[in-house]
């Protein structure tokens, strides 16, 4: 079987073609989407989980490559008093539930795709992300195949990728990320994979509905990246196997829903933890530990925040702060590793603001009775810088193409936000805007392309 596989920053999805139409298959209960999260009681147990699910012919080579991690996994399982076959690594909603139950006891990663193109990764870190992606792909493939007969195995996939995985690092970052995805897909049981830019995939789904030839600016604002593509679409183009001549311009950067959640956390939550308050010497409390707490898509920031030196710094700030009771809350976030939980609360506030003018967000897991009130204006103010970057990407794609679009097609889960739509529509008010399936359009386009590539 061939599929379209959206290994997304926020959610993952699989699509198949049935009777000429695209159908997304359930991956988590009745949902067609699986949250891009993983939780392990100990990070070394991830390699053990991969080994256990590999086919026999791959186990020897993998065990040799991960000998050190597997040895540490054995010790971790003993230290945690886990039974030999007791589950210790969780994916999707199970991972979120495990993290919320034990935020300070295990290893939690949200949106691993956001890290794949990071510059300066050590060999051990690349190996860790290879294992994280492999385990997630194994789980997703198994869940997808459970919807079909045992004889029907998924073997071929077109996997979506952003134009640029990382704002810095250029093509080297893209090659690193694609290599991780390719290796993980192979270990997960895919015999052949192809890659397609996600905004182009989203545009192909829209193209299936067109009865005229038009030039379209596709704006895909996802969980981890924003990608823009200027594409010629319509009846004269849709059946072409090679679409390179139709792709007039591309731009992309690692700026997406995660960044909006982080920005909202800083602007609306962190003042309740002491950000913006003063020290006894009248200087402001340093902002760096607050930023490190919620910068969940920055490996070095997360490592710094969890370190003993960060704990010592916050304790010193408490001694010298005019409002030590506020900074004490930041110390709790550091000790119990609640940064992801804060960002998740911001994400829930962002989603609620799609329909409500103001939301009251409970933060009682930080301090009893603590709530943060967030309005539409607060959100728009908090995300000014990320939205400016989205605007710049749209202009960059237009500049590369050298033409103006007939229409703008907006997709991606983050684009559901009225604040984002208002910014995009206000940039070129004379151009009609079409809003696609915020979550399913990329998967549908990947699936249509898989039919052309593999069928």
Within a domain: residue 195?
A: no
pLDDT tens track for 94-141: 999 998 888 878 899 988 998 899 888 899 999 999 999 999 999 999
Whether residues 336 and 429 share a domain: the answer is no
Whether residues 379 and 389 share a domain: the answer is no
Within a domain: residue 351?
A: yes
**Can you read off the two tokens belonging to residue 207?**
């193209």
3-state DSSP assignment of residue 157:
strand
Whether residues 12 and 150 share a domain: the answer is yes
**Domain with 240 in it: what CATH number?**
3.30.420.40
pLDDT tens track for 140-193: 999 999 999 988 999 999 999 988 887 555 788 899 999 999 999 999 999 999
Domain count, the chain: 3
pLDDT tens track for 76-98: 999 999 988 899 999 999 999 99
Least Cα distance to 288 among 340, 274, 383, 260 occurs for 274
Residue 168: per-residue pLDDT:
55
Domain boundary among 341, 362, 383: 383
Within a domain: residue 133?
A: yes
Domain boundary among 362, 383, 404: 383
Are 140 and 14 within 8 A, CB to CB?
Answer: yes
Whether residues 281 and 242 share a domain: the answer is no
Within a domain: residue 343?
A: yes
Residue 246 in this model has a pLDDT that exceeds 90:
no
Task: Lay out the sheet containing 37-40: strands in order across.
Answer: 89-91, 37-40, 107-110
Residue 254: per-residue pLDDT:
79
Within a domain: residue 128?
A: yes
Whether residues 379 and 406 share a domain: the answer is no
Residue 255 in this model has a pLDDT that exceeds 90:
no
- What pairing do the DSSP bridges indicate for beta strands 407-411 and 433-435? parallel
Whether residues 221 and 264 share a domain: the answer is no
Tell me what the mean pLDDT of segment 33-52 comes to.
95
pLDDT tens track for 404-428: 999 999 887 777 778 888 888 888 9
Residue 213 in this model has a pLDDT that exceeds 70:
yes
pLDDT confidence tier of residue 443, bands split at 50, 70 and 90 = very high
Tell me what the mean pLDDT of segment 398-403 comes to.
94
Within a domain: residue 453?
A: no
Are 266 and 379 within 8 A, CB to CB?
Answer: no
- Determine the length of the chain: 455
Residue 353 in this model has a pLDDT that exceeds 60:
yes
Residue 281: per-residue pLDDT:
95
pLDDT tens track for 170-180: 788 899 999 99
Q: How far is 268 from 252, CA to CA, in rounded Å?
A: 28
Whether residues 132 and 49 share a domain: the answer is yes
Least Cα distance to 337 among 370, 367, 365, 306 occurs for 306
Whether residues 151 and 296 share a domain: the answer is no
Cβ atoms < 10 Å from Cβ of 203: 29
Whether residues 113 and 177 share a domain: the answer is yes
Q: How far is 293 from 303, CA to CA, in rounded Å?
A: 10
Long-range contacts of 349-352 (CB under 8 A, 24+ apart): 349/264, 349/268, 349/374, 349/379, 350/257, 350/260, 350/261, 350/264, 350/379, 350/417, 351/416
Share of the chain above pLDDT 70, in %: 99
Whether residues 378 and 336 share a domain: the answer is yes
pLDDT tens track for 263-278: 999 999 999 999 999 9
Q: Which domain holds residue 182?
A: 2-190
Whether residues 19 and 155 share a domain: the answer is yes
Question: Model-level pTM?
Answer: 0.80
């Amino acid at each position: 079987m061939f599929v379209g596989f959206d290994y997304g920053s926020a959610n993952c999805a699989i699509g198949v073609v049935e009777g000429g139409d695209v159908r997304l298959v359930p991956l988590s209960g009745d949902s067609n989407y699986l949250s891009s999260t993983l939780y392990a009681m100990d990070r070394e147990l991830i390699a053990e989980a991969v080994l256990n699910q590999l086919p026999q012919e791959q186990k020897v080579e993998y065990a040799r490559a991960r000998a050190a991690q597997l040895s540490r996994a054995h010790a971790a399982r003993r230290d945690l008093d886990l039974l030999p076959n007791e589950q210790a690594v969780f994916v999707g909603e199970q991972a979120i539930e495990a993290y919320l139950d034990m935020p300070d006891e295990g290893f939690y990663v949200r949106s691993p795709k956001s890290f794949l193109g990071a510059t300066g990764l050590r060999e051990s870190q690349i190996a860790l992300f290879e294992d994280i992606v492999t385990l997630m792909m194994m789980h997703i493939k198994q869940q997808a195949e459970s919807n079909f007969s045992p004889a029907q195995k998924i073997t071929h996939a077109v996997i979506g990728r952003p134009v640029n995985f990382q704002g810095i690092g250029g093509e080297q970052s893209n090659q690193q990320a694609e290599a991780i995805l390719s290796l993980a897909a192979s270990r997960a049981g895919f015999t052949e994979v192809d890659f397609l830019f996600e905004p182009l995939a989203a545009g192909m789904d829209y193209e299936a509905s067109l009865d005229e030839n038009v030039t379209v600016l596709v704006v895909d604002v996802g969980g981890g990246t924003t990608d823009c593509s200027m594409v010629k679409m319509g009846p004269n183009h849709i059946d072409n196997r090679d679409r390179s001549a139709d792709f007039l311009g591309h731009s992309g950067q690692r700026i997406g829903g995660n960044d909006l959640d982080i920005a909202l956390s800083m602007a609306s939550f962190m003042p309740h933890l002491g950000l913006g308050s003063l020290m006894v010497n009248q200087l402001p409390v340093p902002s760096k530990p607050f930023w490190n707490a919620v910068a969940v898509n920055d490996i070095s920031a997360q490592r710094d925040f969890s370190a003993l030196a960060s704990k010592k710094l916050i304790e010193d700030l408490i001694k010298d702060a005019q409002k030590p009771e506020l900074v004490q809350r930041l110390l709790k976030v550091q000790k119990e590793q609640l940064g992801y939980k804060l960002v998740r609360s911001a994400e829930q506030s962002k989603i609620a603001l799609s329909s409500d003018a103001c939301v009251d967000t409970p933060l009682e897991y930080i301090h009893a009775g603590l709530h943060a009130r967030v309005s539409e204006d607060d959100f728009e103010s908090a995300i000014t810088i990320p939205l400016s970057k989205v605007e710049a990407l749209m202009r960059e794609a237009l500049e590369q193409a050298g033409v103006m679009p007939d229409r703008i097609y907006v997709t991606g889960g983050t684009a559901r936000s009225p604040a984002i739509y208002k910014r995009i529509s206000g940039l070129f008010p004379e151009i009609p805007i079409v809003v696609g399936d915020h979550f399913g359009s990329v998967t549908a386009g990947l699936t249509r392309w898989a039919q052309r590539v593999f069928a």
